[in-house]
Amino acid sequence: MCFGHGTDNAYDEAAYLVLRALGLPFEIDDEKLNETLNGEIKDFLVNLITVRIEQRLPVAYMLNEAWFCGLSFYVDERVLVPRSPIAELIGQRFSPWVVEEKVSRILDIGTGSACIAIASALAFPDAYVDAVDISSGALAVAAENAHRHEVSERLRLLRSDLFENLQDQTYDIIIANPPYVSEDEMASLPAEFRHEPEQALEAGEDGLDIVRRLLSESRKYLNDGGVLIVEVGNAEVALVQAFPQIPFLWLEFEFGGEGVFLLTSEALDKSAKQKAS
């Protein structure tokens, strides 16, 4: 068994599965927990637990629910299960790297369930957010979540291969959680991750196929004073080795997570000049 889709241990996952499957709140009192379950409910829970163990199916897909930034999102096997540490940055409104009042447009690349895009739209109520994905299935999930959280008027969903269909639009913040799993790492992933869309995980021999494009194309779409934030996970070492001239700022997280870098528009300009010379 592997835990990495919202919990990191069997006890927490079991508690989450039982409570949410029965429609019970997380803050349930002890008296309610001590109630006796009838046979039908017991059979229902045993079936869920059996599926989790035998099929190694992530609980988020079993319940069609995942949490991100304190918000509930619909998920199924068309999208990754939300788990990015970028949630912590959104909660901080990307301080101190941007001035909240000056953020008018945000771009989320590889939006999947749109959890990052929607959480950003709610964190910046005066900003417009574009969310792109190459998968039409993922965008259908994203549309359902946008409707659920009532942000459809400020959230534009586009089917696009990175920046391909954005024309000349520019942004104050560009966020990307692209595929970054290498071929070797993909072959060794636990079974739970095999239920997620491979297209959203694997990115070539070293996991950097998409990140390379982001680094070369992002500046055109980033406003002066803007920031590019990208999660690369375990590909961090390979990225630093591949681009030693780029001054990546690797962000630290109070609640866990790593492999997320930030680059300012100025840093991208400086790197481009160094490459040209």
pLDDT tens string 120-133: 999 999 999 999 99
The pLDDT of residue 109 is 98
CA distance 10 to 160: 38
- Residue 25, pLDDT score: 87
Ranges of residues in the chain whose predicted pLDDT is under 70: 273, 276-277
User: Cα 198 to the chain's mean position, in Å?
Assistant: 15
Domains, the chain: 10-62 (no CATH), 78-276 (3.40.50.150)
Q: What is the pLDDT of residue 252?
A: 94
pTM to 2 decimal places: 0.94
pLDDT value of residue 276: 62
Q: How high is the pLDDT of residue 106?
A: 98
Please tell me the distance from the alpha carbon of residue 3 to that of residue 152, in angstroms, as a whole number.
33
Q: What is the pLDDT of residue 60?
A: 95
Using CA atoms, how far apart are residues 46 and 57, in angstroms rounded to an integer? Answer: 14
Predicted pLDDT of residue 277: 58
Q: Give 135-169 pLDDT, tens digit per residue.
A: 999 999 999 999 999 999 999 999 999 999 999 99
